[in-house]
Structures are given as structure tokens and as C-alpha cells.
Amino acid sequence: MSKRPREQRDVNPRPVILAGAGLLLGLVIVLAAMAGLLALFSPPGGLSAAPAAPQPAGEPQLQVIPPAERLSLEATQTARLHGY
């Protein structure tokens, strides 16, 4: 049996540390850019100057004559489809 050579040393830590530092630096740059964009594009008075008033929901509307409304809708759609 012949002896195979074994690995003599572990992984070089310098490239791993540099890659991690590069990722952290990139993260800091992106966070700073996002904070700058947020400050640039946000309205001056916060989210809005006045709170939005709640809108009441509309009442449900029942169809008076469903088949006639369906035929009218289909006629409108067919006219739009073939009218272009």
C-alpha cells in the first residue's frame, strides 16, 4: 500500500476574512444609501399632514334583472372586442 500525501495545512484565513469584511462593508454601504434615499424621498411632515378619514363602505347593490344586465355586458364586451 502506498501512502497518499495528506493535506499539510488548513484553509488560508486571509481570503475568508477579506470576503467577510467585504460583505460587511457592502452591507453598510447599502444601509447608508437606503437611509439617504428614505430621508430624501420622505414627506417633510412625516407620513402625511392630515390623517385620512375613514370612508364608509357602499351599500351592496342587487341586480334588478340579472339576465338583461349580463346580455348588456356581453354586448358591450363584444363591441369592444370587434371594434378595435
Q: Per-residue pLDDT tens for 11-47?
A: 888 999 999 999 999 999 999 999 999 989 887 765 6
Instruction: Write the CB contacts of 43 (distance below 8 Å, at least 6 apart in sequence).
Output: 49
Quote the CA–CA distance of 24 and 69 in Å, as a whole number.
62
- What pLDDT shows up at residue 36? 96
Percentages (nearest 5) of helix, strand, coil residues in the chain: 55, 0, 45
Q: Given the C-alpha cell 399632514, which residue does it identify?
A: 49
Q: CA dist 71 to 35, 64, 68, Å?
A: 55, 13, 5
